Amino acid sequence: MNRALSSSLWLLLATIVLVAALIPFDGLLSQRAQALPPAIVAFNERITDFGTFAWMIYGSGSIVIAAYILHRVSRSEGFSSKTKTAWRLALYFLVTIGSASALVHLLKFIVGRARPELFLEYGAHSLTPFANEWLFESFPSGHGAAVGSFFGAFAMLAPRLRIFFALGALTIGVTRVVVGAHYPSDVAAGLLTGLWTALMAAFLFAGQNWLFRLDEAGWPRPKNIFDTPAKG
């Protein structure tokens, strides 16, 4: 638990520092991103909705998760082991993505930041807490939190491929700025929120010896054939 708390504090600090560094440039970066050539903007519009929670739970994202679960199950021996692997993986994705969704929507409601669509009227730093309106739910990015949790979960389960998952999350995150739905600091906060839920869920599961185990440094590592198991 000490390592989990330490990780939470470091991620919180990283989020604060990154968001604070981006906020002064939010307006400028947002306007320039939206002014990119039409073909680039159109491409971003086509792929941006891959970052919705609905896509991950009810759309193609659920197929990707199911395919991964089936792959892991096929590597398990015995019916009991296959069953445990399947439901624990499904639960891990559900806890990670569900927690990110609940947390980011709560933060949106509390913060009430005006979206870039209202830039000319409100500027880049207008806050209307508890507005409960889509136009005042820019911070943090829901898409950012969704892809952060989705790719973050895969990164925890397959750490050797983390760079590819990070690039996938960043790509979808950038689209939110290009299409004018969020400011860069919104996206950064959303991505780190999603990553935090993936990491905390891994700590939780490691405590039950489900899917993960704590290595010698106290970090959760996946218990599968693709990774060298921790000693002990």
Domains and CATH numbers, the chain: 2-222 (1.20.144)
Q: Average per-residue pLDDT in the chain? A: 92
Helix extents (H) in the chain: 2-22, 26-34, 38-47, 53-58, 60-74, 79-111, 119-122, 142-157, 162-178, 184-207
Beta bridge partners, 212, equal 222
pLDDT tens string 176-225 = 999 999 999 999 999 999 999 999 999 999 999 999 999 888 899 998 74
Residues paired with residue 163 on neighbouring β-strands, in sequence order: none
List pLDDT tens digits, range 126-181: 999 999 999 999 999 999 999 999 999 999 999 999 999 999 999 999 999 999 99
The two tokens of residue 33 are 């991103």
The DSSP code sequence of 55-102 is: HHHHSHHHHHHHHHHHHHHHTS-SHHHHHHHHHHHHHHHHHHHHHHHH
pLDDT digits (tens, 9 = 90+) for 13-44: 999 999 999 999 999 999 999 999 999 999 99
